[in-house]
């Protein structure tokens, strides 16, 4: 059973930066794919960034490309989301999720059985 704990959420001004972290415990032999999702108030949850088990492939939604970067450190069992040039529309609860396998639909929530509880990001204008 995967256990995920996010941290790093905060309140920042537009244009600022944050780095989110998610520690993924309880996997030993098979590396999972990892992803960050977010949910703004009154909106559906959406995938933001995903990284393959080996770290060689990543994917982003268009609205965060060139501003966000996902990375992983498997020695620390941690996935990161570096967020730069933050915008008010980036506000939301950010969730870390894990699954096994990698395919051309990395933001399909139904494929992720393991989720963290989220960390809040608030960007003010």
pLDDT per position as a tens digit, 35-79: 999 999 999 999 999 999 999 999 999 999 999 999 999 999 999
Q: Could you tell me the pLDDT band of residue 26, with boundaries at 50, 70 and 90?
A: confident
> Does residue 28 surpass a pLDDT of 70?
no
Please calculate the CA angle 53-16-24 and round it to the nearest 5 degrees.
Answer: 25
pLDDT at 25: 83
Tokens of residue 72, six digits:
């992983």
Measured CA to CA, the distance from residue 56 to residue 6 in angstroms comes to: 22
pLDDT at 103: 92
Element (H, E) at 123: strand 119-124
pLDDT at 1: 55
> Does residue 27 surpass a pLDDT of 70?
no
pLDDT at 120: 98
18 and 12 Cβ atoms separated by less than 8 Å: yes
pLDDT at 33: 95
């Amino acid at each position: 059973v995967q256990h995920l704990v996010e941290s790093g959420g905060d309140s920042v001004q537009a244009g600022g930066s944050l780095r989110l972290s998610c520690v993924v415990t309880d996997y030993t032999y098979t590396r999972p794919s990892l992803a960050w999702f977010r949910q703004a108030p009154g909106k559906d949850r959406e995938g933001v960034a995903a990284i393959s088990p080996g770290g060689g492939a990543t994917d982003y939604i268009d609205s965060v490309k060139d501003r966000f970067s996902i990375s992983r450190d498997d020695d620390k069992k941690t996935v990161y989301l570096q967020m730069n040039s933050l915008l008010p529309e980036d506000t939301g609860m950010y969730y870390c999720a894990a699954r096994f396998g990698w395919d051309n639909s990395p933001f399909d929530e139904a494929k992720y059985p393991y989720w963290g509880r989220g960390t809040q990001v608030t960007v003010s204008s």
